[in-house]
A and B are shown apart, each in its own frame.
Chain A
Amino acid sequence: MNYLNNIYDETPFQTAGPFLHIGCLPNSIGIKNIFKKDLGINPFERKFESNFITISGSVFDGNGEALDDIMLETWQCDENGYFFNDQGFARFVPDPINKKFVLKTLKPGVVKEVDGKYQSPHISMSISSRGINMTLNTRIYFEDDDIKNDPLLSSIEQKDRIHTLIAKKDSKNKFTFDVFLQGVKETIFLNI
């Protein structure tokens, strides 16, 4: 059998639009009592929050405006580099006043791949909103980790853009990660 002749097309994406909170974060806009709770509020409910790091930042459009009508989702392994399908997912939106998002999570560990290579600690991030026709994907790496040999980062030819994937360390447990959708500082987006 030739399976290659039998591959159907993936359903196309469409923009999530400006009202995505209704479906994805209803409790956050006051639609209570339908879903028990919004998903992805705490990516590691069984871990101590005292061990969490904080990553904050904004998502900027081509005019340099920080956006608040976007939804961010992150997916990551635990502090030892292991993925579990019931933890590691977070979903959040920027604060409508200061336009900053805040992710409180475990700092991910080094991931060993099946081919024996090691990925540097990172968090996968997706961005959906009005005006984004197809959800964007990027990654957050960390300034204080050894990232020289990460397979993805070392494969990127535009070396002067790699810094857009690296969160800046502000203090022991605090990082900043801004995303630029366009312009000279445009973030690297990934075809995952």
Chain B
Amino acid sequence: MNIKSLIKRNFEKQPVANHSDYKSSILRAPKNNKINFPSTVSEISGPSFNKDIIRELDNDLTLNFSNKNQMPIGQKIIVYGKILDQFHNPLDGILIEIWQANSGGKYLHEKDKNDAPIDKNFAGCGRYITSNDGFYEFITIKPGAYPYPNRGIEWRPMHIHFSVFGKSFGQRLITQMYFQGDPLIKSCPMINSIPNSGAKKSLVGCLDLKKSKSDKVLTYKFDIILRGYNQTFFENRIEGL
């Protein structure tokens, strides 16, 4: 019998649901344990998206909303990396969606009440579908840090939100990328909802100085690892290799 199954999640390397330093989590964290069960076809299947949904400028946030001959204000950056599984196999055809604040730390969203200006040339959304080697790239503006109410006013470090569809519903991931060297990372209660220091560090995009020099754009590298599948034995050979 050969049943494909997702590798079980290691919750020690994930955020805890109820992290009292992050006030919004207190009333939204379930108290009961989650139910474990073997993977079924419902979890090992999932939606895939055809590359024809992507338009040329979807991954260029400096141009996909800007008026003709204008650019958003701020430091232009490239964020790139690979989508890999837990065996470091590159995953192709993976849809990535990102969203972020503008360079002043303001989201183009009516619920963002921060006293910072909208940039009429910047919406802050982009998407990309990975190529054969799992590669993705976004051209954008470095997002600003911004204050928000939590334990009094606190500051969110600069970050970009990532939504990643795997090959299956069980691989789906929603996370955030932070920026190497940002002093606000250390005190952020959202990052600190992850107890494991190595896991926290894996959310920091690293400055790629070499590529920054060659491309003449400040470049950050951020690889993302999605769950893998257990290797199952079938008639003495390993499936899926």
Contact = CB atoms under 8 A, between A and B. Distances in A.
A36 B53 contact: yes
B109 A62 contact: no
Interface stretch (B72-80, B81-89, B129-137, B212-220): B81-89
B154 interface: no
Interface string A154-189: 011010010000000000000000000110001111
Interface string B93-112: 00001110000000111111
Nearest to B228: A7
Contact of A113 (B34, B40, B198): B40
Interface size class of B (residues with CB under 8 A): 35 or more
B142 interface: no
Given A189-B34, A189-B35, A34 B175 contact: no
B121 interface: no
Given A8-B88, A62-B26, A186 B14 contact: no
A181 B18 CA distance: 12
B209 interface: no
B38 to A, nearest CB: 8
B208 interface: no
A128 B164 CA distance: 13
Mostly helix, strand, loop or mixed at chain A's interface? loop
Contacts of A39: 49, 53
A191 B6 CA distance: 11
B123 A22 contact: yes
A66 B216 CA distance: 48
Given A3-B87, A11-B225, A133-B17, A155 B37 contact: yes
Given A69-B111, A75-B46, A14 B203 contact: yes
B30 A136 contact: yes
Contact of A11 (B6, B34, B43, B226): B226
17 contacts: A6-B88, A7-B87, A8-B86, A9-B86, A10-B7, A11-B226, A12-B194, A12-B200, A13-B173, A15-B190, A23-B161, A86-B48, A114-B1, A115-B1, A158-B32, A182-B28, A188-B35
Closest 4 CB pairs of A and B: A23-B99, A131-B24, A89-B47, A133-B15
